[in-house]
Amino acid sequence: MAQIVILPDELVSKIAAGEVVERPASVVKELIENSLDAGAKRIVCEMENGGKRLIRVSDDGSGMTHEDALLAIRSHATSKLTSSGDLLSIASFGFRGEALPSIASISKMEIVTRTKDDVAGTRVAVAGGEVKEATEAGCPVGTSVTVRDLFYNVPARRKFLRTTQTELYHVVNAVTSLALSSPEVAFSMTHDGHSLFEFPFSSSVKDRVLSVFGLGFVKSTLEVSSESPLARIYGFVSTPETLSSARTRQFIFVNKRPVSSRSLVHAVYEGFGLEGRTRHPAFLLLLEIDSGSVDVNVHPTKREIRMTNERAIHDLVAQTIRDALHASPEIQEKTEPTYMRPRLDGKQGAFWGVQESFVGYRGEGLEAEEREQLFIPEFWQLHRTYIIAQTKTGMIVVDQHTAHERILYEEILKNEKGSESQQLLFPRPVELSPQQSVLVEEKMDEIARLGFEVKKFSGNTFVVEAVPAYLEHYRDETFAEFIQEMYEAGKSKTESFDEMAKMLACKAAVKAGQSLTPEEMNSLLDRLFATKVPFFCPHGRPTVIRMSLEELGRRFGRI
């Protein structure tokens, strides 16, 4: 058995850094939290090569004296705790005294800082945890921390860093998460000299949400709020109509700290009545809880928490969401007829009377025998979602969305090397979130192959100048919805052109609840049965359900 030895300080620092610093985003998070604790009103984040080459976070906070700047890079040195009793009521983001020493041990770090009472500032240069230089420096009040060559002395960790765009994506997520809970602080971020976003000072959380996610997100959510002796809750949740297939845009903050809490996430789903979790809401919830009732000293990353009244707070969150959903006028049941049949003039009428036949369906995409069986003398639109058609042997019900999805998907794949585009008479501006903006720039070549001509205008605004020719009725929302679908799907699913084709087909297809004229229904069925796989959408859902006269007879007791 090997002899037990005490590890050298250098090795201890690198091991500790492994818990605190996983990637560039971890560094940015820790530095911004220090800036917020210092009372900063403006925070600037600069990056190069996704943070692998350079990270710089600058603020206008209280700054540090020369002595404090040197102490800050020593392990377990902090200004936020003075006794063990302080652990029972932590109000700051940081408190462990681990972040700066951990970062300094695996990078080349420079700290430039000054307090308002000091005439000159301090510059401290550190490499691999060792102080190389500590001198006076001219600088404004506040602190600027520059981190170069992250993991330069830990090659085993450095090789696990991902591509520049992937690391940048994680950094943007980290910055926007902290920006959402601190609307009173202005944030800006640049990458390789290019501005990614600027969030100005905001007077409310709602204004900050508008800056980060845009008006579309706010319109698709409900504002929630409640107050009790246990907690004060405020935020936004999806409407039931805008639930997603992916868990994205889910943020929970406790006393402004972004946290991971299974209990609170479960409370959100319980409030929606989503027991199976096959569909997922977006939500942004800010909880204010007495700091003495929250334990954040669970993990070095400080994302996990424990709460004294966890069950009661869980129930309060669930009830707050239930109340908001029930009070929303948008989800009240509509009284208008929903079983509609189109007239020949294109107008809608309730299906209560007998009308003449509609346009017949030719069924050109089927074999002769099937075409004979599928002669359709009339059809109807049910709930503006399904097309019911009579056949010689019974009936079919077609899901208009999945049917159109199949049509568009095969159109896209036919032109995989590059789809034809149709120029828009007036280019359409599209405002995206910072995360989506990073994704579009990374996937610009693939987006062009799909038939879009898109140019960056400024900040997170792009201009759509041309759209794929196969999108006959392009909606202004289509491109933004497509990018959101890519963002929700995650990086792994956007590597494949086939997966991107499925996403675009889904977002560009006719929607459930959309009225169709007889001519449009006829064209949809005609094109569906001309595809290679007419009975399933690209995701494997059925497009057509057949019911024979024999089955109908059995159901009505005739057979």
User: Which residues have a Cβ under 8 Å from the Cβ of 538 and sit 6 or more positions away?
Assistant: 405, 406, 409, 501, 502, 505, 506
Residue 319 shares a structural domain with residue 368:
no
- pLDDT of the residue at 320: 96
- pLDDT of the residue at 152: 93
CB 430 within 8 A of CB 462: yes
- pLDDT of the residue at 96: 53
Residue 512's closest CA among 400, 418, 427, 377? 400
Among positive and negative, which fits the CA dihedral 25, 26, 30, 33? positive
Residue 260 shares a structural domain with residue 352:
no
Tokens of 34: 């220090």
- pLDDT of the residue at 360: 37
Residue 321 belongs to some domain of the structure:
yes
The helix-helix angle for 497-508 and 476-489 (nearest 10°) equals 140
3-state secondary structure of 301: coil
Among positive and negative, which fits the CA dihedral 146, 149, 152, 155? positive
User: Which residues have a Cβ under 8 Å from the Cβ of 197 and sit 6 or more positions away?
Assistant: 172, 176, 187, 188, 189, 434, 437, 459, 460
- pLDDT of the residue at 349: 37
Max CA pair span of the chain: 98
Tokens of 521: 């229904």
Residue 447's closest CA among 427, 460, 465? 465
Residue 2 belongs to some domain of the structure:
no
Q: CA-CA distance, 58 to 44, in Å (whole number)?
A: 5
Helix then strand count (H, E) for the chain reads 18, 24
- pLDDT of the residue at 156: 86
- pLDDT of the residue at 94: 53
Residue type, 108: K
- pLDDT of the residue at 352: 30
Residue 426 belongs to some domain of the structure:
yes
Q: CA-CA distance, 171 to 304, in Å (whole number)?
A: 20
Query: Which residue range is the domain that position 73 belongs to?
Result: 9-206
Domain count within the chain: 3
- pLDDT of the residue at 32: 96
Residue 480's closest CA among 443, 444, 433? 433
- pLDDT of the residue at 491: 64
Residue 259 shares a structural domain with residue 363:
no
Residue 489 shares a structural domain with residue 374:
yes
CA distances from 355 to 78, 349, 352, 369 (A): 81, 10, 9, 29
Three-state helix/strand/coil letters over 67-91: HHHHHHCCCCCCCCCCCHHHHHCCC
Termini Cα distance of the chain: 82
According to DSSP, the β-strands at 121-127 and 108-114 are antiparallel
Report DSSP state, residue 394. E
CB 121 within 8 A of CB 92: no
Residue 4 belongs to some domain of the structure:
no
Which phi and psi (to 5°) does residue 489 adopt? -70, -30
Residue 190 shares a structural domain with residue 268:
no
For residue 258, what is the domain's CATH number? 3.30.230.10
- pLDDT of the residue at 338: 36
Domain final residue pick, 330, 346, 371: 330
The residues pairing with 223 across neighbouring beta strands, listed in sequence order, are: 236
Domain final residue pick, 180, 206, 232: 206
- pLDDT of the residue at 337: 35
For residue 359, what is the domain's CATH number? 3.30.1540.20
According to DSSP, the β-strands at 453-458 and 421-431 are unpaired
Residue 3 belongs to some domain of the structure:
no
Residue 353 shares a structural domain with residue 466:
yes
Q: What is the CA radius of gyration of the chain?
A: 29
Q: Which helix (H) or strand (E) holds 173?
A: helix 164-180
Residue 392's closest CA among 380, 402, 378? 378
- pLDDT of the residue at 92: 56
Tokens of 47: 């990056």
Residue 133 shares a structural domain with residue 256:
no
- pLDDT of the residue at 25: 95
Can you tell me which residue has the tokens 């003398």? 377
pLDDT digits (tens, 9 = 90+) for 455-470: 988 878 899 999 998 8
- pLDDT of the residue at 217: 86
Measured torsion, CA atoms of residues 206, 175, 301, 164, in degrees rounded to the nearest 10? 150
Measured CA angle at 173 (ends 169, 174), to 5 deg: 120
- pLDDT of the residue at 546: 87
Q: CA-CA distance, 542 to 169, in Å (whole number)?
A: 35
DSSP assignments along 251-290, one per residue: EEEETTEE-B-HHHHHHHHHHHT-SS-SSB--EEEEEEE-
- Residues in the chain, overall count: 559
Residue 384 belongs to some domain of the structure:
yes
Residue 168 belongs to some domain of the structure:
yes
CA distances from 526 to 316, 353, 393 (A): 53, 27, 19
Report DSSP state, residue 64. -
pTM: 0.72
Q: Which helix (H) or strand (E) holds 47?
A: strand 42-48
Tokens of 354: 């007998």
Residue 31 shares a structural domain with residue 134:
yes
Residue 238 shares a structural domain with residue 302:
yes
Low-confidence ranges of the chain (pLDDT < 50): 80-81, 83-89, 95, 330-366, 368, 371-372, 374-377
Q: CA-CA distance, 541 to 441, in Å (whole number)?
A: 32
Domain final residue pick, 158, 189, 206: 206
CB 64 within 8 A of CB 115: yes
Tell how far CA 431 is from the center of its chain.
Answer: 15
Q: CA-CA distance, 45 to 68, in Å (whole number)?
A: 23
Q: CA-CA distance, 505 to 468, in Å (whole number)?
A: 11
CB 478 within 8 A of CB 508: yes
Residue 170 shares a structural domain with residue 218:
no
Q: Which helix (H) or strand (E) holds 17?
A: helix 9-20
- pLDDT of the residue at 216: 81
Residue 303 shares a structural domain with residue 342:
no
Residue 539 shares a structural domain with residue 396:
yes
User: Which residues have a Cβ under 8 Å from the Cβ of 303 and sit 6 or more positions away?
Assistant: 258, 259, 260
Q: CA-CA distance, 548 to 553, in Å (whole number)?
A: 9
User: Which residues have a Cβ under 8 Å from the Cβ of 22 and sit 6 or more positions away?
Assistant: none
Residue 40 belongs to some domain of the structure:
yes
